[in-house]
Amino acid sequence: MYFYNVAFLLALFLSMLYVMHYEKHFDVCITAIFLLIPISNLGFIIRASSETLSQAMLANSIIYMGGCFLPFFLTFSILSLCEFKVRPFLRTSILFVNSLLFFFILTTDTNHLFYSSVSFVKEDGISVLEKTYGPLHTVYYVLIILYMLAAFIALIYSFFKRQHVSRIMLILLVLPEVFTMIGFFGSKFHGLTLELTPYAFVFAQIVYLIISSRMMLYKTSDMAVETLLENGENAFVLIDKKYRYLGSNNTARHVLKELDELPIDRRLDKNEPLKKTLIHWIKCFEEDPKNGDNMYIQKNPENPEDYHVYNIRVDNLIVGKKDVGYQVFLFDDTEDVKYIKLLNNYNFELEGEVEKKTKRIVEMHDNLILSMATMVESRDNSTGGHIKRTSEGVKILIEELKKDPKFQITDEFCRNIIKAAPMHDLGKIAVDDAILRKPGRFTPEEFEEMKKHAKEGARIVHEILKDTDDQDFRILAENVAHYHHERFDGSGYPEGIKGEEIPFEARIMAIADVYDALVSKRVYKESMSFEEADKIIMDGMGTHFDPQLKEIYIAARPKLEAYYKSLDE
C-alpha cells in the first residue's frame, strides 16, 4: 500500500505545482495529463485495498481512465508541440474509439469482450484481480503501440526536418513515452505483483513540468511575434541568459541573415557574425542598461548609396516576474536619417517651404481624425452632433480653467485637450451595430458590451498616433478616450480608478460629456432643462466629478447654456 500511496501523493503534488505555474497558453493536452494521472494513481490504491470483487472492478475502471486516455493526450501533446496539424474530424474520431473502449471496460460485468473472466484474490494483504483477457484487450495494446509509434515518428521527423522546433523540447518529449512504455509493459512481462505504471506516470509528470516551464519562453516569443509582425519595418530577436537563440520575426531574419539558418536553442556566441552584432549589443546593455542603444547600418554591396539604418534597443526578457533573457529590437530609422540629412542641406528659403508643408500635413492629419470620429458617430443614432457639442463644451471649460491661477495649465495642454476631445468615443467603432443603434435603453448585458468602447478607443487612438512626433498629445488623447467614463469615487469604468488617479484631461472631458448627454435629446429620453442638468452635475461633484472643477463649471455654466440655446435657434 505504501508503494501506491507514495505514487498517488507524488502525482497529486506535481499536479498542484502545474496548477501554480499554469499559463493560459499551455497546451490543453498537457493539462489533461496532469488531471488524469492523480485520478488513475488513486485507482491503484483503491484496487489494492478492495475487499470485494465489485470494489476492485470499480477501481480497475478508474485506473483504465488513465490507461485509455493518457496515451491519447500524450501523443497529441507531442504533435501539438512539434507543430503538426491534425484535422478536427480525425482527432474526434480517435477520441471516440478510446471512449468506446473505455465503455466496454466499464461494462465488463455484462460483456466479456475486454476480460473473458475475472476473479478476486488477496496476496500478502494486497487485492489482486486475476483476469483472462478478451479480444478488446488486444485492441487496447494495439492502440497503445500505435500511439507510441506516431509520437516517435513525429519526434524523429521534427528533430531532423524542423529547424524552428526546440531540440531541447524534442529530447524531453521522448522521456514520457519511454516511461509510460515501461509502465504499461514492464510488470506484464516480468510478472510483478506491484505495477510500475503509477511511477511511470509520475516520471512523465516531472518531465512535462520541465517542458511547461521551458514552453513559457517559446510562447513569450510567439506573443511578441504576433504583436510586432503588425509593424513589418521593425525586427526583434529573443535570446536567453546563456545566449541561446529563442526566436525572431521575419524582419529580423531578413536584416540578420545568419538567423535564417540558425536552429532554435543554438548559442549565438558560436556564430561569428552574430557575435559581432547581437552579442556585442547585449554586452553593451549588460555593462550599462541606460546606454544600451546602438546604431546598425546595413549597406547594399551592389549599391553603397542604398542602405538601411537601424536603431538597436536591448531590454530584459521577463516571464512572469523572472528575468530569463534579452529582447533585441531593431527599429528602422532609415527614412528619418535620410530626412534629417536632406534637411541639413536645405537653405533658409526651403526651410520655410518645409514648414508650410509640415503644417499642411498636420492639418490633413487632424481633419482625418475628425472625419473618422464623425464616421463613428454616424453609426450611433443616439449621439448625433455629440462630437461637435462636447468639443465646444471642453473649449468653454478650458477658457475658464485658464483664468484660474491655481491650475497652472499650459497653452499646449489647452490646445491638446481641445484637439483630442472629438476622439473620445472612437472606440464605438468596435461596438456591434445592434447595440449601438438600439432605439432604447440597454440591457445589463448590452451595457457591458458598450462599456468596452472606452478601452478600445484608447487602443485605436494609440494605433493612430503611435508614430506621431507629439507624444504628449498622443498620451493625452489616449487618456481622454480611456478614462472619460471613470468616476471620482471609483465607481466608473473601464478601470474603476478614482480621485487623482484619473488623468486631469479625462476629468474635464467627463463634465462636458455628461452635460451634453443630459441636455440633449436621445432616442430613449427627452432633453433635460438646464436647471435639471445643472442640479445633477452639481450633485455629482465629489462623487462623479472632480470637486476641484466645481468652481470652473459654475463659471462656465452661462456660456454652456448660451451655446446650447444657440443650437435650437
pLDDT at residue 449 above 70? yes
pLDDT at residue 335 above 80? no
Kindly report whether the peptide bond that precedes residue 301 is cis, defined as omega within 30 degrees of 0: no
Q: Which CATH number fits domain 350-568: 1.10.150.110, 3.50.50.60, 1.20.140.10, 1.10.3210.10?
A: 1.10.3210.10
The C-alpha cell that represents 140 in the structure block? 487496447
Positive or negative CA dihedral for 29, 33, 39, 44?
positive
The C-alpha cell that represents 319 in the structure block? 516571464
From the list 510, 516, 518, the residue with the least C-alpha distance to 547 is 510
Mean pLDDT of 474-492: 93
pLDDT in tens, 146-158: 988 998 898 888 8
CATH code at 2-217 = 1.20.1070.10
pLDDT at residue 216 above 50? yes
Average pLDDT, whole number, for the chain? 81
pLDDT in tens, 111-133: 888 888 888 888 777 787 888 88
Phi and psi angles of residue 25, each rounded to the nearest 5 degrees, phi first: -90, 0
Residue 226 — pLDDT band, cuts 50, 70, 90?
low
Predicted pLDDT of residue 378: 54
**Least confident window among 30-34, 63-67, 335-339:** 335-339
pLDDT at residue 35 above 60? yes
The C-alpha cell that represents 384 in the structure block? 448625433
pLDDT at residue 486 above 90? yes
Reduced to 3 states (helix: H, G, I; strand: E, B; else coil), residue 109 is: coil
pLDDT at residue 501 above 90? yes
Residue appearing with cell numbers 476473479: 119
What pairs with residue 122 in β-bridges? 127
pLDDT in tens, 63-99: 888 888 888 888 888 888 888 888 889 989 999 999 9
C-alpha 355/C-alpha 377 separation (Å) is 33
Phi and psi angles of residue 166, each rounded to the nearest 5 degrees, phi first: -60, 130
Specify the long-range contacts of residues 109-117, CB closer than 8 Å, at least 24 apart: 109/57, 114/140
Is there a contact between 240 and 246 (Cβ–Cβ < 8 Å)? yes
One-letter identity of residue 395: K
How many residues are listed for the chain in this entry?
A: 569
What pairs with residue 319 in β-bridges? 322
Residue 175 — pLDDT band, cuts 50, 70, 90?
confident
Predicted pLDDT of residue 302: 63
**Residues 229-335, CATH architecture:** 2-Layer Sandwich (3.30)
Predicted pLDDT of residue 445: 87
Predicted pLDDT of residue 99: 92
Position with higher pLDDT, 9 vs 352:
9
pLDDT in tens, 239-282: 998 899 988 888 888 888 888 888 888 888 888 888 888 888 88
From the list 152, 197, 163, the residue with the least C-alpha distance to 3 is 197
pLDDT at residue 100 above 60? yes
pLDDT at residue 296 above 80? no
C-alpha 107/C-alpha 57 separation (Å) is 10
DSSP secondary structure letters along 400-446: HHHH-TTT---HHHHHHHHHHGGGTTGGGGGS-HHHHT-SSPPPHHH
End-to-end CA distance of the chain: 91
pLDDT in tens, 349-406: 555 554 565 556 555 555 556 655 565 555 565 545 788 888 899 999 999 999 988 8
Is there a contact between 398 and 512 (Cβ–Cβ < 8 Å)? no
Residue 231 — pLDDT band, cuts 50, 70, 90?
very low
C-alpha 105/C-alpha 568 separation (Å) is 80
C-alpha 487/C-alpha 485 separation (Å) is 6
Predicted pLDDT of residue 230: 45
What pairs with residue 527 in β-bridges? none
Predicted pLDDT of residue 81: 81
The C-alpha cell that represents 114 in the structure block? 475486454
Apex 247 CA angle, 245 and 249, nearest 5: 140
Phi and psi angles of residue 565, each rounded to the nearest 5 degrees, phi first: -65, -35
Predicted pLDDT of residue 170: 82
C-alpha 502/C-alpha 483 separation (Å) is 7
Position with higher pLDDT, 233 vs 30:
30
Residue 9 — pLDDT band, cuts 50, 70, 90?
very high
The C-alpha cell that represents 287 in the structure block? 555593462
Buried b (16+ CB within 10 A) or exposed e, 343-366: eeeeeeeeeeeeeeeeeeeeeeee
pLDDT at residue 303 above 60? yes
How many Cβ atoms sit within 10 Å of the Cβ of residue 470?
Answer: 14
Predicted pLDDT of residue 218: 59
The C-alpha cell that represents 466 in the structure block? 503611435
pLDDT in tens, 504-559: 999 999 999 999 889 887 666 678 899 999 999 999 999 999 999 999 999 999 99
350-568 shares the fold of 229-335: no
Highest-confidence range of 65-74, 182-191, 313-322, by mean pLDDT? Answer: 65-74
Domain ranges of the chain: 2-217, 229-335, 350-568
Predicted pLDDT of residue 491: 92
Mean pLDDT of 3-22: 89
The C-alpha cell that represents 79 in the structure block? 504533435
Torsion angle of alpha carbons 501, 506, 511, 514, nearest 10°? -110
- Within 8 A by CB and 6+ apart from 294, the residues are 280, 281, 284, 311, 312
Position with higher pLDDT, 565 vs 24:
565
